[in-house]
Amino acid sequence: MTWDGTPGTAVVTGASSGIGAEYAERLAGSGWDVVLVARRADRLAGLAERLREDSGTAVETMEADLARPADLARVAERVGAPDVSLLVNNAGINGYGPFTEVDAALLTKVVDVNVVAPTVLTRAAVPGMLARGRGAVINVASLLAFAGALPPVPLPHRAVYGGTKGYVVTFTRTLAAELAGTPVRVQVVCPGLTATEFHLGTGERPVPGEQRVHDEGGMPVADVVTASLAALTAGEVVCVPGLEDAGAVERLAGAELDLRGGAGAALAPRYRAGPDSDG
């Protein structure tokens, strides 16, 4: 089923800055009505006013912390409304730090925002999209989803964050396979380091003040969103904005198929030897 991008209503979470704000601006500029979801009401109000002036489209704002069940339920209700034909699950926090030192409550919040929220919102959106014969979900993950065994220097300490983004990748790919042949598209976009304020805090509290960009730089958010929307039109389930070799995704699938070769009933020979065996 071709995603034609015909404007409707799009819900964008984490819309107060960075990638989420760029999605909102790009979609509004293409004629979409947008629902902006984030914790920072002042940022949302400013973005909404600008989008209305620049695009003339309808803009709603929802101040919400997706780690709070009541807020998540409220956003899920809006996502399930019949006018919504695009959901962008962009909200995310990092909780970076050595696993044994990061506050356990923060790690729980990372899982709530990065795993529970996109799952709940996607579940709220997809049935109606299927019934109406049109819709798409974009889940924003990270290349850190594929960085499991790499050391934390120069990468961040990321055991829980990387695990949550690995979930988003697997969830999206599996759901896309389940929905193959239907009118609903599902995509996961996996940026590398991006020029946002994401690294200016752990996510426990919103970054205060005006929008900023962390010192490490990275890919411009406009390029991330350009890649994502182009990939959605092309039908790519996994979008890695900076990846030149698109075949890498197919090779990953091939490696996974090799691992699935271990699904048989027979024990692998290397596990049969006793503890005193020489091999």
Do residues 43 and 24 touch, judged by C-beta distance below 8 A?
no
What is the phi/psi pair of residue 265, to 5°? -85, -15
Please name the residues in contact with 205: beta carbons below 8 A apart, sequence gap of 6 or more: none
Strand order in the sheet with 135-140: 59-63, 33-38, 9-13, 84-89, 135-140, 184-189, 238-239
Please name the residues in contact with 228: beta carbons below 8 A apart, sequence gap of 6 or more: 23, 138, 187, 189, 239, 241
DSSP code of residue 114: I
Beta-ladder partners of 37: 13, 62
User: What is the secondary structure of 142-177 as a DSSP string?
Assistant: -GGGG-TTS-TTTSPP-HHHHHHHHHHHHHHHHHHH
Closest CA to 173 of 151, 156, 192, 189: 189
Structural tokens at position 112: 């709530």
Write down the catalytic residue from 23, 96, 161, 167: 161
Do residues 225 and 19 touch, judged by C-beta distance below 8 A?
yes
Active site includes 96? Answer: no
Do residues 32 and 21 touch, judged by C-beta distance below 8 A?
no
**Which residues are catalytically annotated?**
161
